[in-house]
């Protein structure tokens, strides 16, 4: 794998820092306990009041702790396995590594932009490490030969349609909540005491367009292959 040693080094740093961040997020205690807070928009928001997420809302803190559990017990082991397979030359391992690094990038980008606490610099470091490990891993593929790793029976159109369906569902989920707020002037559900909708911005600005582009390109590629085959008959 091209740049394998660099990706391995970055992945090891991610594993160590993510274990610290997720472990501390789950185990940290203290704080004043749950309390009510009036946001700048005049809404009453329940703050979690416990541990590192004490200044986050109850719902956001619950999501963060759930995410920490997923990171600790699924994300970190998957990253360890996938990077090991990748540096040994496994194509499937590299695909798994791309997906796992994407998870860490998304997770700690959202933490960096949404929750300022004692772990802030660790969140930023994890975001940065994940981003560059993701870029280097993507750059390691030989895109002229990548199709040779997949059999002719791969359901390309089904995968493309699924990506478009996911993009549509996520877009409708968030736009349905945001559109009413923009027209009525009432804060959208989920804003609470935060200044902006970080997750929604990431999904609508990155996840949805990426899924649409990937889905369309997969379907068009498959249709082009069919047309080429028919023209040769």
Q: How many residues are listed for the chain in this entry?
A: 233
Q: How far is CA 141 from CA 2, 110, 204, in A?
A: 8, 27, 27
Backbone angles phi, psi at 45, to 5 degrees: -120, 135
Tens digits of residue pLDDT in 65-91: 999 999 999 999 999 999 999 999 999
And the tokens for 26?
């789950």
In whole angstroms, what is the distance from residue 221 CA to residue 218 CA? Answer: 5
- For the chain, the domains span 1-147, 150-233
The per-residue pLDDT for 1 is 77
pTM of the model as a whole: 0.90
Under a CB-based contact definition with an 8 Å cutoff, are residues 35 and 49 in contact?
yes
Tens digits of residue pLDDT in 12-62: 999 999 999 999 999 999 888 999 999 988 889 999 999 999 999 999 999
Q: For residue 227, name the pLDDT band (cuts at 50, 70, 90).
A: very low
Termini Cα distance of the chain: 39
In this model, does residue 156 exceed pLDDT 50? yes
Q: For residue 222, name the pLDDT band (cuts at 50, 70, 90).
A: low
The per-residue pLDDT for 49 is 95
Tens digits of residue pLDDT in 106-153: 999 999 999 899 999 999 999 999 999 999 999 998 877 887 888 878
Tens digits of residue pLDDT in 163-210: 999 999 999 999 988 998 888 888 888 899 998 999 999 999 999 999
180, containing H or E segment: helix 156-184
Fold assignment, 1-147: Butyryl-CoA Dehydrogenase, subunit A; domain 3 (1.20.140)
């Amino acid at each position: 794998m091209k740049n394998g040693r660099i990706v391995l080094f970055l992945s090891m740093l991610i594993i160590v820092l993510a274990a610290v961040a997720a472990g501390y997020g789950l185990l940290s205690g203290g704080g004043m306990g749950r309390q009510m807070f009036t946001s700048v928009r005049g809404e009453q928001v329940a703050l979690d009041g416990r541990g590192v997420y004490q200044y986050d809302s109850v719902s956001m803190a619950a999501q963060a702790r759930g995410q920490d559990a997923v990171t600790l017990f699924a994300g970190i082991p998957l990253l360890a396995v996938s990077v090991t397979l990748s540096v040994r030359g496994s194509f499937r391992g590299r695909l798994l590594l791309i997906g796992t690094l994407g998870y860490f990038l998304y997770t700690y980008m959202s933490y960096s932009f949404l929750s300022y606490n004692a772990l802030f610099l660790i969140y930023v470091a994890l975001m940065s490490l994940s981003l560059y490990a993701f870029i280097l891993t993507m750059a390691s593929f030989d895109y002229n030969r990548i199709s040779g790793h997949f059999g002719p029976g791969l359901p390309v159109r089904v995968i493309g349609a699924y990506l478009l369906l996911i993009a549509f569902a996520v877009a409708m989920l968030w736009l349905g909540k945001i559109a009413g707020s923009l027209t009525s002037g009432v804060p959208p559900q989920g804003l609470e005491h935060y200044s902006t909708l970080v997750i929604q911005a990431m999904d609508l600005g990155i996840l949805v367009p990426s899924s649409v582009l990937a889905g369309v390109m997969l379907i068009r590629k498959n249709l082009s292959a069919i047309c080429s085959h028919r023209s040769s008959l």
